[in-house]
Structure 1
Amino acid sequence: MRILVAEDDAAIAAGVRASLEQSGHAVDHITDGASADTALRDHPYDLLVLDLGLPALDGSDVLARLRRRGAGIPVLVVTAREGLRERVRVLDLGADDYLVKPFALVEFEARVRALLRRRTTQGTPELQIGQLRLDIAGHRAWIGQSPLELTAREFGLVEALATRPDKVTSRAQLVEALCNWDEDLTDNGLDIALHRLRRKLHGSGTNVRTIRGLGYLLEEMQDA
C-alpha cells in the first residue's frame, strides 16, 4: 500500500514512517498542508495519516478539500488537539479515525491495519484467488494452509494486482505502488520481481498474466 504521512513533527514522522515501512508499505512524507493538498491531487494513495496542526494549510482544510473532491481514501488523523467537540468536528469533516498524541505505535499500527483492511477487502479479513490467500493489512500470504514467504517487494506486487480484481495494472501503476518518492525501481528490477513472484505462485491456482502493451492481470487459472 502507498501511504502519505502529513506531519511536521520530525520525531513523530520518523517513528510513524519507520513503522509503516517495516510493515512493507511505500511511504511519502510531507511537512506542510499545502504540499499535502498538492500530493493528494497528483498521486493515488491508499491511506492518509494527517496531523491537524500543519503549517501553510491546516490539516482540517486539507481534509475538507480532499472530501470535496470526492476522494474516498481513508484518513487517520493524529493530533495533539483533544476534546470531544474537536473529535466530532474532524470526524464530521470526513476523517475515518482520530488518534491523540502521544500515542503508542502498537495502537497506531492496529488502527492502520483496520483502515486498510476495510478499504481493500470491504471488512473481510482476507482476499482469496484460487488457492492464494492474502491478508493485506497483516502482510501475510498462504497457498492453501501453507505460509507463502514473500519479500516486501513481492508482496507489494501481488497486493497491487489482487486489490484490482479483473482489472489490468500497468507497469507505471506497479512502480507507483512500490516506490517512495526517494526510491527508484528500474524496468529490469520490476521484471525480476515479477519473475520471482510468478515462480512462488506456482501451485497456487493463480497466475500473473502479461497483457501485451497494457500491463498485468492476476487471475485464477481455469485448469487449476
Structure 2
Amino acid sequence: MRILLVSSSETETVYLHKAFRESAHSVQVADNLRYALYLASYEEFDAIVISAVGLSLTMALFDALPELAQLPRAPSVIVALASGTAQDRARVLRAGADACFVQPYSFLEMQERMLALHRASAARSSQSAQLPIHASKLKLDPLTRDLVEDTRRVLLTKREYLLIECLLRQANAPVARDQLIRYAWPDKEDVDPASVNLVVSRLRRKLELNGFRAKVETISRFGYQLTS
C-alpha cells in the first residue's frame, strides 16, 4: 500500500516509518497537514496516517480532516491521538477520519484496520469500474507477501512487492520508471536505473519459473507494463 505518514514528532515518525516499511508498504512522510494536503492532491495514496502527538498537528487536525475526506481518490484517513476520551475519538471520526486510535495503541491493529479499509475501498472501485475478469485474477497477499495468480503463488521481496503493487495499479498500461522509483524506493533520493532493471529481472524470472501468465514488459524509453 502507498501510505502518507503525517507527524511532527521525530520519534513517532521513525517508529511508524520503520514499522510500515517492514510490512512492505511504500511510505511518504510529511511533517505538517498543509504539506500533506498538497501531496495528497497530486499523488495517489491508499491511506493517510496522522500521528497527532504534537500540539501543532492537534490544533490543525479538525480543519484538515474535512479536506482530506473530500480528496478525489478518497484515501483512508487514520488518526493516532496522544490521549483522548471516547468523545474525543468520536469527534475525530465525525470530522472525517475513518479510524482513530489513542496511545498506547497496537501497530498490528492499526495496520489490520488500514488493510480492511483498503479491501472495502478496492471492492467498491472494482464494482463501479467493472474491471475485466482477466485483470482481477492477479493479486497481492499482504499477509504472506505473495503474488497470486489463480492457484499459483510466489513469495516476493519487499522491493519486488512494492514494484508489482505499483504496476498493478495500472495493469495492462505503461507505468513511468520515475513513478516506479518513487513508489518502490521511497526511502532513497537517488536510485540507479540499474537497480530497477535488476528487480524487474528477478521478477520476470520468478514469474516464468512459477508458470505465471502475467508478464512485466519493457516500454522503451518510458518504463514498464504489467500484462495480465
TM interval, short-chain normalised: 0.7 to 0.9
Q: 2:88 aligns with which of 82, 86, 89?
A: 86
User: Which ranges of 4 or more aligned residues in structure 1 deviate by more than 6 Å?
Assistant: none
Identity of aligned residues (%): 27
Shift of 1:131: 7.0
Residues 58 and 34 (structure 1 numbering): CA distance in 2 closer, same or farther, change over 3 Å? same
More displaced stretch, 20-29 vs 79-88: 79-88
Q: Unaligned stretches of 5+ in structure 1?
A: none
Residue 146 of structure 2 is matched in structure 1 by 140
Alpha-carbon distance between aligned partners in 2 of 1:130 and 1:73, rounded to the nearest angstrom: 21
- The amino acid that maps onto 2:178 is A
Write out aligned runs for 1:163-202 (5 A): 163-180=169-186, 182-202=188-208
1:75 shift after superposition: 0.9
Residue in 2 that maps onto 1:30: 30
Which residue matches 2:130?
Answer: none
Quote the residue 1:60 is aligned against: 62
Q: How many residues align?
A: 218
1:7 equivalenced with 2:15 (yes/no): no
Q: Secondary structure at the match of 1:169?
A: strand
SS in 1 for 2:204: helix
**1:52–1:60 Cα contact (<8 Å) kept:** no
* 2:218 corresponds to 1:210: yes
The within-5 A match list for 1:37-56 is 37-52=37-52, 54=54, 55=56
* Corresponding residue of 1:18: 18
Partner letter of residue 207 of structure 2?
A: L
Q: TM-score, normalised by structure 1?
A: 0.80
State the match for 1:72 in structure 2.
74
The 1:65–1:198 alpha-carbon spacing in structure 2 relative to 1, beyond 3 Å, is same
Distance 1:152 1:69, change over 3 A: closer
Q: Report the secondary structure of 1:148's partner residue.
A: strand
Q: Which has the higher helix share?
A: 2
Give, as a single letter, the amino acid of the residue that structure 2 aligns with 1:92: R
Q: Distance in 2 between matches of 1:134 and 1:128?
A: 15
Q: CA deviation at 1:38?
A: 3.3
Deviation at 1:137, TM superposition (A): 6.3
1:106 aligned residue: 108
Aligned-pair Cα RMSD in Å: 3.0
CA offsets, 1:84-115, max 9 Å, x none?
A: 44333322332221112210222122222223
Once the two structures are superposed, residues 125-149 of structure 1 have per-residue CA deviations (whole angstroms, 9 ceiling, x without a partner) of xx98597542246532245545412
Shift of 1:210: 2.9
- Unaligned stretches of 5+ in structure 2? 127-132
Q: Which residue of 1 aligns with 2:129?
A: none
Greater shift after overlay, 140-149 or 92-101?
140-149
Change (3 A) 1:66 1:33: same
Does the aligned pair in 2 maintain the 1:210–1:217 contact within 8 Å?
A: yes
Partners of 1:25 and 1:154 lie apart in 2 by 11
- Between the aligned partners of 2:170 and 2:219, the Cα distance in structure 1 is 15
Q: Using the alignment, how far apart are the partners of 1:49 and 1:213 within structure 2? A: 35
Scaled by the length of structure 2, what TM-score is found? Answer: 0.79
The answer to whether the Cα contact below 8 Å between 2:145 and 2:155 also exists between their aligned partners in 1 is: no
